[in-house]
Chains A and B, each alone.
Chain A
């Protein structure tokens, strides 16, 4: 018995959740004596009203696509990877090490090499929690959270003590060689003869993220490995019966997940900062959880949810710039969206299911 049509499940539910989150946000804004309509138009204008706004929205979205896909892949193996933050940070270290140590003459060569570095470091950071989960049953939620802290501390040490250029006051690595700088979308637009998104950080990594969506879709729904990952995620006893090795799947799913989180570094570290700075991930690892939840663990959903959160990030920044709404409130709005689309999903879903059931009964 399917409870409601698919379109209601994947589109209507998140949409209603979103509207509810916006309604409550509006109330909060009203409560502090500001105008919700002004706030909304400011956000939309700032994030989507110009190619400049879009440039930032897409830049943030690129980060969230990678971390969202990371959470999604692990989720299909019934593993809750909360370690995207640490894995993405380590991915940054991988990118920095590769770009600073290898003489790479051109970005087209530097990009794939940096991707390998980013994915390897992110995957390596997911490996130990995966192994502990598979072999010793240590819960992956706990271990990945702990590894976020370890990654932050380790990067701090590495940046301050090892990678900081002599004489620099900044806890950051040296700048990457000019030849390895990734083309920005604005540059690409110029080359095509028009101006778009001048001075925005969105770069070619956005396309890599889109390709990653397609590849993850292929992996999960078209490959034998994806079949095993999904089967294991649904039922471990059944997986054993079918000859699927739980240790192998746990480790592989987490390696892929960590690799995807690590890949985010080609966007924020290689594409934007062009050096490794402290705290480069800025919470994108955690946003990835909300993105995967809201995207119903499907790459298309992840892509759309990442766009939404990119919009919230950019629009929120604009809000702080142009209105007297305090920065903290923007975090509140983002949290409300996460709360409604993720945690309170069932609150919307259950009444909807009942409604559809009642409608069908009447129809029958």
Chain B
């Protein structure tokens, strides 16, 4: 294979690092995304780059791939200085990249996507048949199986990612960069990806894996570099470090990785869901008979790959089922049935029933991005008597309240007047969490509480959620992060294809078992799981 010839050709420079960056800096306007970065990636290793959101990881890799021009600094590939002006240069230097957001043509086949831009000559047919052969070989070598003739839009996310990897390998990439590759995968898919990466390493390829998940770093990398606020703060051998140390390096202070919580003391049932079904406007059944109970003082975690009905469940409970959908079944909160359709089914009414809601997408739903922080603190509760008299709002009262919340939740910068858009993701989320939790709801609906939130803020938000539970409130927690579900929940229900696949206790299950359930495989028998919910 051509790739091997290339490898052979470079053997004389085997000693130098596969990639070396020296003093790379890059600013976007006033944001210094990368500052004087040095990085050395050894040949034939899996090198992790970890850092919080906005630390500058994607920027650094985009520079390496020729997407951005660095303001300063030097890139060496295989020991030789190289000016990477565009991605073609990077590809010729043997660098391949799998982006955070795939760049595939959705209505092309796998094969067409793979040769796109790498066609030999003017005729498509020879390229296609050559690609088919190469693809078969790659699939065999690295467990990279995808049907070459399938149209990309019909592929699962995991398979689309394989196509991206194949694309890079087809271009004879020697160094493969993956930017947050597991964000969109089920645990099983992530495991499979890691096996592929290990296979590639065994073949002598170099892999740069970007992530903000500590577990993945510990699991698969040989070396890890930590970025914080645009700077490279450390590079260490993975075997010689620990998650705690990495977290501290990422955040710049000590972080408690595991949620500290006492066993739950569940009381009366607060939320009772019976045979909840939802058919959306296009006639697709998105919820297929959900039964759930949550008691006071209990956190029920709902695990699942996103898109399996969690959003619909939260929206219905939150009082705003999708337009044009039909909802049937029964939902009771503190014994009172909730209206599931009609004009009484709205979010304001739900709040009056003392149901709080931290929505899945804070930027689209939870906040008005152009509103000031203080206005967002009143958002959803703007009718509350303490926020005004009659038709007018009492700005002073709201601002006083907002200042308190901002202080107690350590929102930074502590400014009432700053628009929500100008806070970082973690601080935006703190505004939403403060608003919903401090209302002291009987039932709190939570969707993806820490998506795109930095570790420091995650720790804080988790603590507040547990405090609310300890105050005897019922909490429904939806998250695609299994770690989060495992560490926060008192009971775990797994959702797949609009159904609850089963319930487990966090102490009595493994991520492996949950992963299977998330993929729709029911290993254990169902009667046992039903008993569980009653016992707890």
Contact = CB atoms under 8 A, between A and B. Distances in A.
Contacts of B29: 1, 357, 361
Contacts of B364: 235, 237-238
Given A224-B392, A241-B347, A1 B422 contact: yes
B379 interface: yes
B320 A241 contact: yes
B391 interface: yes
A237 B357 CA distance: 14
A224 B368 contact: no
Contacts of A1: 29-30, 422
Interface string A220-235: 0011110110110011
B91 to A, nearest CB: 34
B370 A225 contact: no
Nearest to A354: B29
A234 B393 contact: no
Contact of A243 (B30, B349, B369, B371): B349
Contact of B320 (A223, A240, A361, A364): A240
Interface in B371-394: 371, 375, 378-380, 382-383, 388, 391-393
Contacts of A361: 29-30
B367 interface: yes
A101 interface: no
B318 interface: yes
Contacts of B535: none
A227 B370 CA distance: 12
Given A1-B422, A237-B364, A227 B347 contact: no
A223 B391 contact: yes
A224 B371 contact: no
Contact of B351 (A224, A235, A240, A243): A243
B472 interface: no
A222 B347 contact: no
Interface in B296-324: 318-320
A17 to B, nearest CB: 23
B346 A238 contact: no
B348 A243 contact: yes
Contact of A241 (B365, B369, B370, B393): B365
B346 A245 contact: yes
Contacts of A245: 346
B368 A235 contact: yes
Contacts of B391: 223-225
B366 interface: yes
A1 B388 CA distance: 30
Contact of A242 (B30, B370, B379, B388): B379
A231 B392 contact: no
B365 A238 contact: yes
B368 A222 contact: no
Q: For chain A, what secondary structure do more than half of its interface residues adopt (helix, strand, loop), or is it mixed?
A: helix
A252 to B, nearest CB: 12
B95 to A, nearest CB: 32
**Which residue, A227, A234, A235, A241, has most C-beta atoms of chain B within 10 A?**
A241
Contacts of A228: 382
B319 A238 contact: no
A102 B320 CA distance: 47
A237 B371 CA distance: 15
B515 interface: no
B357 A241 contact: yes
B229 interface: no
B359 interface: yes
Given A223-B391, A364-B30, A241 B422 contact: no
Given A224-B388, A241-B366, A360 B319 contact: no
A245 B380 CA distance: 12
A2 interface: yes
A10 interface: no
A183 to B, nearest CB: 32
A2 to B, nearest CB: 7
Interface string B341-367: 000001111110000010100001111
A74 B391 CA distance: 19
A150 interface: no
Nearest to A235: B368
A231 B30 contact: no
B392 A240 contact: no
A11 interface: no
Interface string B31-59: 00000000000000000000000000000
Given A223-B391, A224-B393, A357-B29, A241 B368 contact: no
Contacts of A227: 375, 378, 382, 393
A218 interface: yes
A243 B350 CA distance: 8
Contacts of B350: 243
B309 to A, nearest CB: 18
B390 to A, nearest CB: 9
B370 A234 contact: yes
A14 B525 CA distance: 70
A286 B237 CA distance: 69
A11 to B, nearest CB: 20
B379 A231 contact: yes
A242 B375 contact: no
Nearest to B394: A222
- The 6 closest A-B CB pairs, nearest first, are A243-B348, A243-B347, A242-B380, A241-B365, A240-B320, A234-B368
Interface of A: 1-2, 218, 222-225, 227-228, 230-231, 234-235, 237-238, 240-245, 357, 360-361, 364
Interface of B: 29-30, 318-320, 346-351, 357, 359, 364-371, 375, 378-380, 382-383, 388, 391-393, 395, 422
Given A2-B422, A240-B320, 7 more contacts: A222-B392, A225-B391, A234-B369, A235-B365, A237-B365, A242-B347, A242-B382
11 contacts: A1-B29, A227-B375, A234-B368, A234-B371, A235-B364, A238-B367, A240-B365, A243-B348, A243-B351, A361-B30, A364-B30
